[in-house]
Amino acid sequence: MLNDEQLAAIIDVGYEQRGVEFKSAGGRSDRSFLANVARATIALVNQRDGGHLVIGLSEKDIDDAASGLSTEQLEQWLSFDDVSDQINAYADPPLQIQLAQVQLPNGRAVVVVEVSEFAEVPVLSKKDYPNRIRARQLYTRSMAKPESSAALTQNELREVITLATERQLARFLETARRAGLGVRHPAAASAREQFDEQLSRALAGGFHLDQALPQFLTTIRPAVFDPRQIPFPRATARGPECRRQTTRVAFSIRAESHLWKRLGGRTGFQHASRDVAVL
């Protein structure tokens, strides 16, 4: 659920996003406004991870007269059972929502409707309201611009089909496990095992330094495996009294970020991957 700070950050962007839709102030007793809210929630439920509908926020400006809900409107939109019933009167199958009151940066109150991604099959509209919502339509949020639409492109349609397939497959596997058909999740390798395998592949693929010189191999890794690596170029220097060779360091992007925070920027990071002199 969005909190005050997250909503303020979204407002700073200055426009709606695919997973966030704004609706100006209005009450549940306004049937036209309610139909608009129902269409928006149906569109959000049919995309991956669902989304949030902010009721009481004008697209023009947070200080616009249409931003912020009155005490009466707040009470209407925070009545969970009534809101759920009225929205689901337009949805087939019913969708899942959560409600919360959130403050705008100017102190005005709005209601955030959190919409979960559909549980098993996409949600269709099941009744009409003139110029607001049409029955038997598959609404979703457009990828081209942030709006709720039933005019799906191949990209939105592909996303909905993929989500439905994933949901049905998960349901089948769960049913098979409950029936004792021996379907098991494959055992996942531990992070340590994945790191060891990655290092073995790197060494087998020519990761070694010059084998004629003494060398150190330093591995810095986080607790969670990340397959990405940052390559470090080989650099060697020879002198009359010593042979100097750069330590090769293999680690993930996540480890780099961690080192920068712990060691304080580029200087600390260079210290962590410093050259090692071999006499």
Structure-model confidence comparison of residues 64 and 24, the more confident one:
24
Q: 22 vs 7, 66, 174, 208, CA distance in Å?
A: 11, 11, 37, 56
Cα torsion 128, 131, 136, 139: sign: negative
The CATH number of the structural domain formed by 4-176 is: 3.30.950
pLDDT at res. 38: 95
**Percentage of the chain lying above the pLDDT 70 cut:** 72
Domain boundaries defined on the chain: 4-176, 191-278
The mean pLDDT value for 165-178 works out to: 88
Count CA atoms within 13 Å of residue 35 on its CB side. Answer: 13
Q: What is the pTM of this model?
A: 0.63
**Percentage of the chain lying above the pLDDT 90 cut:** 39
